[in-house]
């Protein structure tokens, strides 16, 4: 059987696309979703069961559907969760909300297109003689479709050092993937912990450690030593940012935004005004300026743009202030084992000085990897076969404004779309729900229009 649509992935992007396809496709259409995540639709982000792992976007902007902005807030009410649109819900509740939405659409089975969920990892893909693309699955099966929607997210970054020569006992205390929370049960109350990376993942892991009873010192090492800033409990209104009046250079844009921020009560009003026009601004920038932004401004962008909920910050910040947690700007050079501990050698930022820190645990919180297609064997294979190409900045897959992947020299008759952060080369701001949900709808609409004519009885 050849499916009309194959969705590949099992995180938010896949569930958003699938819900929109269920709403839009004719009953005759057949859809398959291939995903390797047991909690379909949750991905890394919404799988956490810890209540203090909160969304970093207020509930009023987390609806699955852009045209029904209150959908999530209303779901919270039906669950008697007393949060308003400006509050930050837990990520586990958000995962349940996604699941409920999908389940209610699937219940109306007679009115909807058919969807098959296939729990498997897609490992490769070949073009078939009839023009469809067939995906090979890890279990040896193969599944083919005429329209492919790739929703694979971006992988987690690997540790930037080689630890293969370390003894097994030392390696067992290096946590490569902190989202598998079982490692925390082995951490002693007073153990020294070194966390690599100072972003949102680091804050999540620090608060989880505290909840598990850890009270020892924590050193956080990152290249710039910058940690996310908080949202305001009472945010000021966003100010309008006129993209057309901004110059097409990063330094010129920064100058103008700084001026604008100085004229309002709080800089967040400018960041919030920039948010809805960021994709437009990105498109206006020449490639060299986009590259300059990634080289020089990205860490500052991240801490100002991707902020933490105020009460999460209120739990984290005292640990910095009382010295329990120290943030060090520097570059990790090496890890060795000594007396049952790990010795982490790093170079202090801006100096040639190298220092050692001794700790029991090293936790990799370097977060999402903007490593383009390199993190995924499937994407590498698709690129080798020239079904997709990497974008020039190496952020992901080259797509057009309709999220259609540009193939290499070879063009397959099946169309490939890419939804989520892998399309960052074209859109930049496409990692969070408020942006992905718009893209998911657009792609589902494009596919529905195509199928409306081809499936006409």
The one segment of 3-11, 141-149, 180-188, 252-260 that binds ligand FAD by CB under 6 A: 3-11
Residues paired with residue 142 on neighbouring β-strands, in sequence order: 136
The answer to whether 149 and 157 have CB atoms below 8 angstroms apart is no
H-assigned helices in 84-154: 91-107
Helix axes 71-78, 91-107, angle to 10 degrees: 100
CB of 49 to ligand FAD, least distance (A): 13
Site for ligand FAD in 420-439 (CB under 6 A): 420-421, 431-433
- Region 111-140 residues binding ligand FAD, contact defined as CB under 6 A: 121-122
DSSP letter at 363?
A: E
Q: How far is CA 249 from CA 9, 235, 267, 281, 399, in A?
A: 36, 29, 20, 10, 23
Report how far residue 453's alpha carbon sits from residue 457's, in angstroms, rounded to the nearest whole number.
9
Task: Give the span between the Cα atoms of 14 and 102, in whole angstroms.
Answer: 11
Shortest separation between residue 323's beta carbon and ligand FAD, angstroms = 27
Q: Which is nearer to ligand FAD, 63 or 260 (CB)?
A: 63
Which of 433, 444 has the CB closer to ligand FAD?
Answer: 433
Residues found in the chain: 457
Distance of CA 415 to the CA centre of its chain: 24
Instruction: Extract the runs of DSSP E, i.e. beta strands, from 27-167.
Output: 30-35, 114-119, 122-127, 133-137, 142-150
CB of 363 to ligand FAD, least distance (A): 14
Q: Which is nearer to ligand FAD, 34 or 447 (CB)?
A: 34
Interface characters, 236-265, with ligand FAD (x: CB under 6 A)? ------------------------------
Instruction: State in angstroms the smallest separation of the CB of 72 from ligand FAD.
Output: 11
With CB under 6 A as the contact rule, which of the stretches 43-51, 77-85, 96-104, 339-347 interacts with ligand FAD?
43-51
Binding mask 49-78 for ligand FAD (x = CB under 6 A): ------xxx---------------------
Cβ nearer to ligand FAD, comparing 260 with 364: 364
Query: How many residues belong to the site for ligand FAD (CB under 6 A)?
Result: 30
Residue of 7, 35, 302, 365 that binds ligand FAD (CB under 6 A): 35
* Burial letters 251-267, b for 16+ CB under 10 A, else e: eebbebbeebbeeeeeb
When the beta carbons of 11 and 197 are compared against ligand FAD, the nearer one is: 11
Place of tokens 């079982």: 182
Q: What is the closest distance, in whole angstroms, from the C-beta atom of residue 401 to ligand FAD in the complex?
A: 19
According to CB under 6 A, which one of 151, 194, 203, 246 is a site residue for ligand FAD? 151
For 250, the token pair is 């990063």
User: Based on C-alpha coordinates, what's the Rg of the chain?
Assistant: 23
8 Å CB contact between 45 and 11 = yes
Give the contact letters, 186-215, x = binds to ligand FAD (CB under 6 A), - = no. Answer: ---------------x--------------
Cβ 45 to ligand FAD shortest distance, Å: 4
Give least dist CB 13 to ligand FAD, A.
3
378 in contact with ligand FAD (CB under 6 A)? yes
Looking at the DSSP bridge assignments, the partners of residue 457 are: none
Residue range at the interface with ligand FAD (CB under 6 A); choices 22-30, 35-43, 262-270, 408-416: 35-43
Contact residues for 57 (Cβ-Cβ < 8 A; gap 6+): 88, 432, 433, 434
Q: What is the nearest approach in angstroms of ligand FAD to the Cβ of residue 438? A: 12
Of 4, 5, 6, 10, which lies in the binding site for ligand FAD, with binding defined by CB under 6 A? 10
Q: Which residues contact 402 (CB under 8 A, 6 or more apart)?
A: 417, 442, 443, 446
Among 19, 43, 90, 102, binds ligand FAD (CB under 6 A): 43
Under 8 Å CB-to-CB from 301, ≥6 apart: which residues?
A: 293
Binding site residues, ligand FAD, CB under 6 A: 8-14, 34-37, 43-45, 55-57, 121-122, 151-153, 201, 376, 378, 420-421, 431-433
């Amino acid at each position: 059987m050849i499916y009309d649509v194959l969705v590949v992935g099992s995180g938010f992007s896949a569930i958003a696309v699938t819900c929109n396809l269920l709403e839009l496709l004719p009953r005759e259409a057949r859809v398959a979703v291939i995903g390797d995540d047991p909690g379909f639709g949750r991905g890394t982000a919404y799988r956490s069961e810890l209540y203090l792992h909160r969304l970093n976007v207020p509930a009023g902007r987390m609806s699955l559907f852009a045209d029904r902005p209150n959908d999530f807030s209303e779901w919270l009410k039906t669950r008697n969760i007393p949060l308003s649109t400006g509050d930050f819900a837990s990520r586990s509740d958000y995962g349940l909300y996604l699941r409920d939405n999908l389940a209610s659409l699937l219940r109306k089975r007679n009115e909807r297109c058919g969807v098959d969920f296939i729990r498997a990892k897609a490992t490769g893909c070949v073009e078939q003689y009839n023009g469809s693309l067939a995906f090979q699955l890890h279990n040896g099966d193969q599944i083919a479709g005429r329209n492919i929607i790739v929703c694979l997210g971006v992988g987690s970054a690997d540790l930037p050092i080689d630890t293969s020569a370390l003894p097994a006992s030392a390696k067992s205390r290096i946590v490569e993937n902190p989202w598998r929370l079982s490692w925390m049960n082995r951490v002693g109350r007073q153990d020294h912990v070194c966390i690599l990376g100072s972003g949102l993942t680091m804050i999540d892991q620090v608060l989880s450690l505290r909840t598990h009873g850890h009270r020892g010192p924590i050193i956080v090492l990152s290249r710039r030593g910058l940690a996310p800033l908080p949202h305001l409990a009472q945010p000021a209104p966003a100010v309008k940012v006129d993209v057309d009046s901004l110059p097409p250079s990063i330094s010129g844009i920064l100058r103008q935004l700084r001026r604008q921020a100085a004229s309002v009560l709080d800089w967040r009003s400018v960041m919030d005004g920039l948010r809805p026009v960021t994709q437009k601004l990105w498109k206006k920038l020449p490639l060299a300026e986009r590259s300059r932004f990634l080289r020089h401004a990205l860490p500052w962008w991240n801490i100002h743009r991707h902020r933490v909920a105020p009460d999460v910050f209120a739990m984290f910040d005292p640990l910095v202030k009382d010295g329990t947690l120290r943030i060090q700007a520097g570059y990790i050079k090496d890890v060795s084992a000594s007396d049952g501990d790990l010795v982490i050698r790093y170079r202090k930022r801006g100096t040639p000085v190298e220092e050692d820190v001794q700790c029991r645990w090293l936790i990799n919180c370097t977060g999402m990897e903007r490593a383009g297609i390199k993190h995924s064997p499937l994407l590498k294979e698709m690129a080798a076969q020239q079904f997709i190409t990497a974008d020039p900045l190496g952020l992901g897959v080259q797509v057009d404004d309709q999220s259609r992947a540009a193939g290499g020299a070879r063009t397959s008759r099946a169309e490939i779309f890419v939804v989520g952060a892998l399309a960052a080369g074209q859109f930049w701001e496409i990692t969070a729900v408020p942006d992905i949900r718009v893209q998911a709808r657009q792609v589902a609409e494009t596919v529905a229009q195509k199928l409306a004519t081809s499936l006409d009885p």
